[in-house]
Amino acid sequence: MMTDWYEQSMRALQLSGKGDKTQQMYTRSVRKLVEFYEKTPDAITETELQDYFLHRINIDEWSPGTMRICHAGIRFFFTNVLDRSWRTFEYLHVQKERRLPTVLSCEEVQRVLACVYAFHNRVFLTTVYSCGLRLQEALHLEVSDIDKQRMMIHVYRGKGAKDRYVPLPMSTYKLLRKYWATHRHPRLLFPALGRNGKNAHKSQSPMAVSSVQGAMKNAVREAGIHKKEVKIHTLRHSYATHLLEEGVNIRVIQKYLGHSSLDTTLIYLHLTQKGNEDACALINTLMEGLFHG
């Protein structure tokens, strides 16, 4: 019986180069399977695995996104750790969701940020929006990531272990300098503040995720924003949409966001109405001489 499946899973995931978050999600998928059958993975048959997937889909009604992670984590483990070449893994598929993300207008972003009263949270959320960063990318920003000469931020440890440079607006740079002066941490831009905030310069870790998430949630409510699913990542979606509306090339936006595929960036074309209002007039002008004579 396999008693060290967790260690073997983490070992294989690390050797394959998967990121920390992917390692956790994939291993959690296997753990849920183990808990469901109350036996180790090597004792689970292919038929039992099929029944498990069907139970999660039809009984528990897991979302397509959750099922996709479930499939990927279990497929990785059974294929690479247990060396199972089951046909189930050849046709396993989840229909992709075609949901568009929520975006805020420029005015709504300003309203939300104006309702963030703790200075450290306001600087953090402003940086996320104005630089189009992911939450974890912003949390782990370091002083050395700021390129003052070029007014760029070097984003290390991005999703997929990819580095990139993003423009740093002067207003954001000034705000970051002002905030850094309050803690003067030698490395981190957003260190954990501690209970009294006086030991931030000695902190070994960034601010807590729960702190900035709570600040965002409260600000959205106070700003009177009633759109669905408005979270910190909404600021990144809004950044991309606003750049597109201002005429920034889609390829440039792809680079700033750190997307591997242009298809991921193209979703923002569906989130803006700019240009649609002029389409009919432009078509009429183009065609007005077509039937003359």
According to DSSP, the β-strands at 152-155 and 164-167 are antiparallel
H or E element at residue 146: strand 146-147
Exposure of 108 in the CB half-sphere (CA atoms within 13 A): 17
Among 223, 206, 197, which residue's Cα sits nearest to residue 119?
A: 197
Amino acid at 108: E
Instruction: Kindly report the backbone phi and psi dihedral angles of residue 30, in degrees, each rounded to the nearest multiple of 5, phi listed first.
Output: -70, -40
H or E element at residue 167: strand 164-167
Q: What is the 3-state secondary structure (H, E, C) of 116-139?
A: CCCHHHHHHHHHHHHHCCCHHHHH
According to DSSP, the β-strands at 146-147 and 152-155 are antiparallel
CA pseudo-torsion sign 177, 179, 185, 189: negative
Contact 272, 237 (CB under 8 A): no
Q: Counting Cβ atoms within 10 Å, is residue 133 exposed (0-12), middle (13-18) or buried (19+)? A: buried
Contact 145, 153 (CB under 8 A): yes
Known catalytic residues? 134, 159, 233, 236, 259, 268
